[in-house]
A and B are shown apart, each in its own frame.
Chain A
Amino acid sequence: MSNHADAERVAERARGVVADHDPKTVPIPDYLGACYDAGLSWVHFPEGLGGLGVSRGLQAVADRILQGAGGPVPLGLNPMGYGMAAPTIREHAQSEDVKRQWLRPLATTEDLWCQLFSEPGAGSDLAGLATSAVRDGGEWVINGQKVWTSLAHRARWGLLLARSNPDVPKHKGLSYFVIDMHGAGVETRPLRQLTGQAEFNEVYFTDARIPDKHRLGDVGNGWNVAMTTLMNERTALGGSGSRRGAGTIADATALWASRPERQTPVLRDRLTQLWLRSEAQRLTSERSRAAATVGGPGPEGSIGKLVGAELNQHIYQWCMDFLGPEGLLYRGYEQGAATGERDWQGPIQQKFLRSRANTIEGGTSEVMRNILGERILGLPGDMRADAGMPWKEIPRG
């Protein structure tokens, strides 16, 4: 079928959903369930699994209609679910039954998802992680600790990367699982960050059990499965709005206009440089999207995460410099925590503090520059002290 006919089919389905389920009155899970049943959650997924088997670019056609009618942005409600879990499940889950069991409640946001990758001893060197998975009949027994897990306290399911074989080099001894966050032996503790909020958690596993049918991909192939998840994470983190002047830069330009008495030529030029970089990145995302509809994603896509993170920091640094003494004020570090408010919903000063994490989370800027250098420019990798070494012999600390 031609792309045009596909687009019309997607649009027709979306209009049908909106006609039968007014998003302004129907509860969100029911509405998103209708979207799933109509194949509009991820249009490139197979039919019966929340998709229509059409090109990925047509998601925008569905979203324009669904969200245009006042429907929610599902990525915001179940970020790890929509952004990372769904593509990983689709590609690597063992059976259609399991896919169906997970995907619909994920899509309706009845089941939230979290990602259990980072550990205290494994950040940028994720493949060095130590949480163990030991086979016991038809089950796996999990012991260890994860960290920086957002939504762990509210999630039903977690994407878990664990070490199933310590005797082989680090990348080869990993397996990938989906773990029941409500199961025995799973303990979640909030982790307070420098902003005062606790958006993240530490998760401890003590003899937690996972049925083997909840393993994604082959035993020992967990690293490759994790790459599916991470590539989707970076695309989600790097994606930006398509309207000029929108996004983070809008905070700065609005602040500029709101305080004429603080304006100076130097601050004006600094803000213009940030505006230009935001605009250049916005246009680069547009160009990336144009390339993605004719071929695969171009190199432009990988740049978004790096640039977006540094821009956020520079923009909020500018805001603080512009505010002067006013920027020194706060609202107390205990505020907002009780209501579950996120850092990005707080005042400028809080966003300034939160932006420090941008160049660390989802791949540090150092790692992102390695990726641009090695995968896009084709430069040789760095020397690795642990190359070829069995994981258990690698020095840790």
Chain B
Amino acid sequence: MAEYRFTDEQNQLRDAVRKFSADHFSEEKVRQLMESDPPFDPKVWARLGGELGVLGLSVPEADGGVGGTLVDQAVAIEELGARLACGPLFGTVYLAIPALVAASSGPARDELLGDLIEGRRTAAAAVVDRAGVFDPDAVTVTADGDALSGTVTQVVDGGIADVLLVAARGSDGVALYAVDTEVAGVQRTPLATLDLTRSEANVTFSDAPAQVIAGPDETARILDYALQVGAALLAVEQVGAAQHLLDLSVEYAKSRLQFGRPIGSFQGVKHRLADLLVDVEHARSTAYHAIWALTDGSDDPALATSVAQAVCSAALSHVATDAIQVHGGIGFTWEHQAHLYYKRAATDAVLLGGAEEHRDRVAAMVLDGATIDRVPWVADGTAV
């Protein structure tokens, strides 16, 4: 499975998801859903799981999945991201399913994983991360036996999920729990968000009954892995959205006439779009490299995902900004779709760590403590 080579099956999967998205996540549908309560269509979600089977593509067959790879999952996410597909993808597909896959088998974990893959239930992760890395010291929820108490703020998809995965500190340390959001003891406060297509909620647990998914011995490993997979899939989503915006802007530059000619014939516009093409291609290369690194271990996943997040967050933000500029006045209207992507770009740039935080992490890995194997020649003012 050589890096960057997609199989025929993966290309077919891409076509299938693209078609499904065109039918169910058209701009009109997305606008309808984002102002509904809940802000997604549970029936369409169930079809994504049960019919199309794209919610748990990399789950092993033994765990009820189709035994595909993370590359398959990425291909599907790129297409869903291109359409700003509404639903708890971030909570369920990016974080909860990878966490459950990494956890040891057990009745609670197996049943939940099966339901999430099939689209029968949805999930969100009430886990505080520091720029995409799990930090046990940041856990504020406490566990008293199987009862959780505490508050987690700004849980993505937290207001619409059926189940919350929660990192909570008990007497033995931090463990991972699953909490049904409908039970007494869970209070969710939906938040008004910049991006209407990706919701957040504050969640307060008051002696909420929970099921243990993983003990303190494996929780950190599970969440580190889930956050890395989440960062890589988020990067792929950014690639999908960026490509969509670039296509949209190029089409507009070809058809919009000013001074008697298409605006795309002016170098000021053309060169801006050429730069966006470079950004999109760079983003795609780094996002899929991270996916492959997590799939076959060909690279350090911590470095690969930080590179992808640093590059893809900056790329989508740049593309979304310039897409509005290329569209001119119409791009600033509510009626035009550019703002939906601009707001998603702002959201994605922050989730699981911003570009600056990931750059700092990359610097720590490749610059700090770097040793010199060859000192570059610097002229010293001596004419030899």
Partners in one complex: yes
Given A254-B372, A376-B277, answer yes or no on A276-B307 (Cβ-Cβ < 8 Å).
yes
Please, what's the 1-or-0 string for A350-381, where 1 marks a CB less than 8 Å from any CB in chain B? 10000000000000001011101110111111
Q: Do A307 and B278 touch across chains, with their CB atoms under 8 A apart?
A: yes
Please, what's the 1-or-0 string for B257-273, where 1 marks a CB less than 8 Å from any CB in chain A? 00001101111001101
> What residue of chain B has the Cβ atom nearest to residue A376's Cβ?
B277
On chain A, which size bracket covers the interface?
35 or more
Tell whether A96 is near chain B: CB-to-CB under 8 Å.
Answer: no
Given A254-B375, A272-B363, A287-B284, answer yes or no on A279-B277 (Cβ-Cβ < 8 Å).
no
Q: Do B378 and A303 touch across chains, with their CB atoms under 8 A apart?
A: no
Q: Do B282 and A380 touch across chains, with their CB atoms under 8 A apart?
A: no
CA distance A331 to B265 in the complex (A): 47
Q: Do A380 and B264 touch across chains, with their CB atoms under 8 A apart?
A: yes
For A294, what are the chain B residues with a Cβ–Cβ distance below 8 Å?
Answer: 5
Q: Do B381 and A329 touch across chains, with their CB atoms under 8 A apart?
A: yes
For A257, what are the chain B residues with a Cβ–Cβ distance below 8 Å?
Answer: 367, 370-372
In the assembled complex, the CB of A319 is this many whole angstroms from the nearest CB of chain B, namely 8
Please, what's the 1-or-0 string for B273-285, where 1 marks a CB less than 8 Å from any CB in chain A? 1110110011111
- The one of B250, B311, B360, B384 in contact with A379, judged by C-beta atoms closer than 8 angstroms, is B250
Q: Do B4 and A377 touch across chains, with their CB atoms under 8 A apart?
A: no
Tell whether A286 is near chain B: CB-to-CB under 8 Å.
Answer: yes
Cβ < 8 Å to B, chain A residues 328-360: 329-332, 334-335, 346-350
Given A251-B376, A284-B282, A348-B378, answer yes or no on A275-B261 (Cβ-Cβ < 8 Å).
no
Q: Do A300 and B273 touch across chains, with their CB atoms under 8 A apart?
A: no
For B360, what are the chain A residues with a Cβ–Cβ distance below 8 Å?
Answer: 269, 272
> What residue of chain A has the Cβ atom nearest to residue B374's Cβ?
A254
Q: Do A280 and B285 touch across chains, with their CB atoms under 8 A apart?
A: yes
Tell whether B54 is near chain A: CB-to-CB under 8 Å.
Answer: no
Given A254-B373, A377-B273, answer yes or no on A272-B264 (Cβ-Cβ < 8 Å).
no
For B382, what are the chain A residues with a Cβ–Cβ distance below 8 Å?
Answer: 331
Report how many A-B pairs have Cβ atoms within 8 Å.
172
In the assembled complex, the CB of A40 is this many whole angstroms from the nearest CB of chain B, namely 24
Q: Do B367 and A256 touch across chains, with their CB atoms under 8 A apart?
A: yes
Cβ < 8 Å to A, chain B residues 339-384: 356, 359-360, 362-363, 366-367, 370-384
Q: Do A380 and B262 touch across chains, with their CB atoms under 8 A apart?
A: yes
In the assembled complex, the CB of A346 is this many whole angstroms from the nearest CB of chain B, namely 7
Q: Do A379 and B289 touch across chains, with their CB atoms under 8 A apart?
A: no
Q: Do A349 and B277 touch across chains, with their CB atoms under 8 A apart?
A: no
> What residue of chain B has the Cβ atom nearest to residue A330's Cβ?
B379
- The one of B277, B285, B310, B311 in contact with A372, judged by C-beta atoms closer than 8 angstroms, is B277
For A326, what are the chain B residues with a Cβ–Cβ distance below 8 Å?
Answer: 378, 380
Tell whether B183 is near chain A: CB-to-CB under 8 Å.
Answer: no
For A290, what are the chain B residues with a Cβ–Cβ distance below 8 Å?
Answer: 2-5
For A268, what are the chain B residues with a Cβ–Cβ distance below 8 Å?
Answer: 363, 367
In the assembled complex, the CB of B210 is this many whole angstroms from the nearest CB of chain A, namely 40
In the assembled complex, the CB of B367 is this many whole angstroms from the nearest CB of chain A, namely 6
For B5, what are the chain A residues with a Cβ–Cβ distance below 8 Å?
Answer: 290, 294
Q: Do B289 and A258 touch across chains, with their CB atoms under 8 A apart?
A: no
CA distance A250 to B375 in the complex (A): 10
> What residue of chain A has the Cβ atom nearest to residue B383's Cβ?
A332
For B265, what are the chain A residues with a Cβ–Cβ distance below 8 Å?
Answer: 379-383
Q: Do B383 and A258 touch across chains, with their CB atoms under 8 A apart?
A: no
Q: Do A369 and B378 touch across chains, with their CB atoms under 8 A apart?
A: no
> What residue of chain B has the Cβ atom nearest to residue A319's Cβ?
B376
Given A253-B366, A290-B4, A381-B265, answer yes or no on A300-B254 (Cβ-Cβ < 8 Å).
no
- From B3, B284, B286, B377, name the one whose CB has the most chain A CB atoms within 10 angstroms: B377
CA distance A258 to B372 in the complex (A): 7
Q: Do A331 and B250 touch across chains, with their CB atoms under 8 A apart?
A: no
Q: Do A373 and B264 touch across chains, with their CB atoms under 8 A apart?
A: yes
Cβ < 8 Å to B, chain A residues 101-136: none
- From B250, B285, B286, B311, name the one whose CB has the most chain A CB atoms within 10 angstroms: B285
For B90, what are the chain A residues with a Cβ–Cβ distance below 8 Å?
Answer: none
For A374, what are the chain B residues with a Cβ–Cβ distance below 8 Å?
Answer: 270
For A368, what are the chain B residues with a Cβ–Cβ distance below 8 Å?
Answer: 274
Q: Do A286 and B285 touch across chains, with their CB atoms under 8 A apart?
A: yes
Tell whether B205 is near chain A: CB-to-CB under 8 Å.
Answer: no
- The one of A279, A329, A346 in contact with B307, judged by C-beta atoms closer than 8 angstroms, is A279
Contacts A245-B366, A283-B285, A347-B378 known; list 10 others, CB within 8 Å: A269-B356, A272-B366, A272-B367, A276-B311, A283-B282, A286-B3, A319-B376, A348-B378, A373-B273, A377-B264
15 contacts between A and B (CB under 8 A): A253-B367, A269-B356, A275-B362, A276-B311, A276-B362, A280-B285, A283-B286, A287-B285, A299-B281, A300-B281, A303-B281, A329-B381, A347-B377, A379-B254, A379-B262
5 closest Cβ pairs, A-B complex: A332-B383, A329-B381, A280-B282, A373-B270, A283-B285
